[in-house]
Structure 1
Amino acid sequence: MQKKQKLILGQLLRVNKNNVNKKIHSELSPLGWHLLHCIFIEAIWVRSYFFSDETIVNKFKSLADATKINVNKRHLNLPNIQELQNFAETYFQENIILIKELLSKNIKKKYSIKYIINFLNQHHSQHIEIMKIIINLHNLKFNKNFNEYTQEIVPQKYKFSGIEIPNGIYKVGAKKVGFTYDNENPRHEIFLKNYIISKKLVTISEWFAFVKENGYKRKEFWSAKGWNWCIKNNVNYPLNWVFKNKNSFSLSTPNGYIKPISNMPVSNISKYELEAFAAWNKMRLPHEFEWEVSSKKLKETFKVWEWSANQFFGYKNFKPYPYKEYSYPWFNKKYFTLRGSSTFTLNDIKRVSFRNFYQPNTRYIFSGGRLCF
């Protein structure tokens, strides 16, 4: 867990110190808030849960409790960067000492300390990726030195190479190995009709062909909501593309700009965009169960978060844990599931059963996808 703590703290140093507590997007909290939130969550599950010590929980509750503070207000009254660094260095280190103490004892609780460590590692991994998303947006907004990283890309027609999955009953959901989130459970059987899913992800050159064929300007490929969103926001290409001229562009990443390569998976696209691309090719997006059942046979399953066709929902006999607010509030038919993971995802949450979820207009995440029919 110490590695995660160091990574969280390290993200603060990757943007201008004056921007650490500033919002870069209306739907995202500042970097400083994410660090404070991770301190707060550790305090709940280590200090409060095992030692009944509410000191740190009470100290940061009004600033870092995600269940109580609206995202639009999380940038208010945050400690400055020096204070944040001091808090992290002090409380993270103290928590490690407490965890080592707990590991040496046999304390009987509903959740063991090993279970909590696993949970905290996964919780922190998710926030580290969100912090990388924020850093990428900072790069797009403030770093204009992209010219030396541009590359001319030749548009290529989408090439489908699929795997056929027959009618059948299949098991989906988390296997009982270590900590998994409530929305991955329980493991259960489902019936799927036969389908064919692409072995590979949609690539940059294939997406560029969609751009060149005026895919963003052709209403017939878009859903009604998707088209309204596209026109209203003047969307013309993936969020992380920065053009030098009409054929050359660079890709923004949390690590700065890089040159695009034709067969790289396209990233930073919304579900609306991927649906339009699918319609352009007379195909569709897979249901998340279609993705999960075929995942072992697919290529590039952990390169980008892959949009699914279906809304985020609770499995039959769903039971919330370790707290109700993790999944349950998001079963509101506004969010859609993404599967796999991105190249910026840490290994703790890289598993077939993991379910990410965002609204269909979201494109600041490292999201792409594959098609099926």
Structure 2
Amino acid sequence: MTRDLKGRFFTARQLTADLAAPLSDADATVQSMPDASPTKWHLAHVTWFLESFILRDHVSGYRPFDDDFAFLFNSYYESEGIRHSRNARGLITRPALLRILDYREHVEGAIEQHWERLPESALNLIELGIQHEQQHQELLLTDILHLFAQNPTNPAYWPSDTSEVGADAAARMQWIHGPSGVCAIGHASDGFAFDCEGPRHEVMLQPFAIANQPVSNDEWMQFMADGGYTEPRHWLSDGWAWVKQEGVKAPLYWRQDADGQWMDFGLDGLRAVNPAAPVTHISLYEADAYASWAGARLPTEAEWEVMGANRDPNEGNQLDGPGPVRPHAQTETSMFGNVWQWTGSAYRPYPRFRAAEGAVGEYNGKFMSGQFVLRGGSCATPRGHMRASYRNFFYPHQRWQFNGVRLAKDV
């Protein structure tokens, strides 16, 4: 168990470094919007997390690598003291990227040195640290994508996956009937789960059906052609106000070329929209409007979970290492990977939920307000990180993540 944990820990740490390797110091420093963070900040923050909650708290006599880093790289842990403003992370031009890489090496070395003497409580935090690092690997990629999308030269982070070129027909969407009556949801196994995934509890489900796959780009273009972004009849009031205020006309990163063809900017640069791939980078507002237009609705998170519980969470298009990251054409059905799927469920605590004690209790519980749950993981989610009970959450207007939509309906 300990040997496997150690191997997974250093594998996760190496993947983060590998993902950042193609970037210059300038690439890794700039912040393109307040919701995003620079790569340099991600690299340092996950390391500060380990240094603080494992080395500082469990290794006698440990001294921090740099006394300024707790202020610079704390994210939202109020109990850890004051911190640098989130929307000004891109102004941290110093320390340089090489200094951050030295910091990572120092903390990894200290953890390896003291590994055999770490108490069980610290090893449990190592597991949390792995999961935390994997979350930031996905954020690192989506934040880089947003940053590069602001560059007029359309730079590619990685070369295109040419195997996807020419895929022009998605698998046909079909309805799959789900169970009804009393069903149990929430994490139940002995494996790792975040506190917000439990406690396991019973819910009552009315008869429903769910689509065998997320909505495709081709289907989304039909919505656009039918006035999807120009007519208010299918939109929530907040959503329609957002469309008008932001001038939204298509998914994020879609652009029309001089001939009117829709192009899509991704980590592999600018290329024609693949009609067979799932639509991505859409908000909850857009997902809900599409569902209304299609005569359907968004699934609840309970409906999604009972349908995903008997599927392999490692299936589908997920992150296996450095290389092209883009949703693939839907040639087979999967509940997991490719795109996160919006649900119609608010991110709120399950019955009898209690946040963990101490600073790590700030990890999830305090964000249970005003956000909606997404399920299933994406092409940027590290494979092995996902579970049917996994609850991702974002505000309804946010769409820089690989967010898509899978339809549901009452039957």
Q: Same fold (TM over 0.5)?
A: yes
Greater mean deviation of Cα atoms: 192-201 or 248-257: 248-257
**1:358-369 alignment runs, 5 A limit:** 358-369=394-405
Q: Is the 8 A contact 2:148 2:154 kept in 1?
A: no
CA spacing shift, 1:89–1:310, aligned 2, 3 Å: same
Q: Which one of the candidate residues 125, 137, 148 is aligned to 1:128?
A: 137
Q: Residue 125 of structure 2 aligns with which residue?
A: 116
CA spacing shift, 1:146–1:155, aligned 2, 3 Å: farther
Q: Which one of the candidate residues 16, 19, 22 is aligned to 2:27?
A: 19
Q: Is the 8 A contact 1:44 1:57 kept in 2?
A: no
In the alignment, does 2:374 pair up with 1:338? yes
Deviation track 1:228-269 (CA, whole Å, cap 9, x = no partner) reads 111111111111323324553333333434554322111111
The amino acid of 1:71's aligned partner reads: R
The amino acid of 2:201's aligned partner reads: H
Q: Is the 8 A contact 1:152 1:249 kept in 2?
A: no
CA spacing shift, 1:145–1:330, aligned 2, 3 Å: closer
Query: Please, what is the CA RMSD of the aligned residues?
Result: 2.8
CA spacing shift, 1:16–1:233, aligned 2, 3 Å: farther
CA shift for structure 1 position 58: 4.6
Q: Which one of the candidate residues 307, 312, 316 is aligned to 2:347?
A: 312
Q: Residue 42 of structure 1 aligns with which residue?
A: 50
Q: Residue 328 of structure 1 aligns with which residue?
A: 365
CA shift for structure 1 position 129: 0.4
Q: Is the 8 A contact 2:30 2:38 kept in 1?
A: yes
CA spacing shift, 1:146–1:17, aligned 2, 3 Å: closer
Q: Is the 8 A contact 1:46 1:98 kept in 2?
A: no
Q: Residue 102 of structure 1 aligns with which residue?
A: 117
Greater mean deviation of Cα atoms: 71-80 or 268-277: 71-80
Q: How many residues align?
A: 364
TM-score (norm 2): 0.81
CA spacing shift, 1:244–1:151, aligned 2, 3 Å: farther
Q: Residue 31 of structure 1 aligns with which residue?
A: 39
In the alignment, does 2:356 pair up with 1:347? no
In the alignment, does 2:318 pair up with 1:303? no
In the alignment, does 2:208 pair up with 1:171? no
SS state at 1:55 partner: coil
Q: Which one of the candidate residues 75, 97, 110 is aligned to 2:90?
A: 75
In the alignment, does 2:109 pair up with 1:93? yes
Q: Is the 8 A contact 1:151 1:249 kept in 2?
A: no
CA shift for structure 1 position 151: 8.3
* Aligned counterparts of 2:338 and 2:297: Cα–Cα separation in 1: 20
In the alignment, does 2:252 pair up with 1:242? no
SS state at 1:349 partner: coil
SS state at 2:40 partner: helix
Q: Is the 8 A contact 2:169 2:276 kept in 1?
A: no
The amino acid of 2:307's aligned partner reads: S
CA spacing shift, 1:155–1:17, aligned 2, 3 Å: same
**1:116-195 alignment runs, 5 A limit:** 116-142=125-151, 144-145=153-154, 160-195=173-208
Segments of structure 1 that go 5 or more residues without pairing to the other structure are none
Segments of structure 2 that go 5 or more residues without pairing to the other structure are 1-8, 77-81, 312-332
Q: Is the 8 A contact 2:263 2:273 kept in 1?
A: yes
CA spacing shift, 1:256–1:93, aligned 2, 3 Å: farther
Q: Is the 8 A contact 1:118 1:178 kept in 2?
A: no
The amino acid of 1:321's aligned partner reads: A
Q: Residue 357 of structure 1 aligns with which residue?
A: 393
Q: Is the 8 A contact 2:208 2:408 kept in 1?
A: yes
Q: Which one of the candidate residues 198, 215, 220 is aligned to 2:211?
A: 198
CA spacing shift, 1:217–1:152, aligned 2, 3 Å: farther
Q: Residue 290 of structure 2 aligns with which residue?
A: 277
* Aligned counterparts of 1:251 and 1:237: Cα–Cα separation in 2: 10
CA shift for structure 1 position 331: 1.2
CA spacing shift, 1:93–1:348, aligned 2, 3 Å: farther
CA shift for structure 1 position 279: 1.1
* Aligned counterparts of 1:57 and 1:86: Cα–Cα separation in 2: 11
* Aligned counterparts of 2:250 and 2:275: Cα–Cα separation in 1: 15
Deviation track 1:198-219 (CA, whole Å, cap 9, x = no partner) reads 1111001111111222211111
Q: Is the 8 A contact 1:136 1:256 kept in 2?
A: no
TM-score (norm 1): 0.89
SS state at 1:136 partner: helix
CA spacing shift, 1:30–1:124, aligned 2, 3 Å: same
CA spacing shift, 1:171–1:241, aligned 2, 3 Å: same
CA spacing shift, 1:211–1:96, aligned 2, 3 Å: farther
Q: Is the 8 A contact 2:65 2:106 kept in 1?
A: no
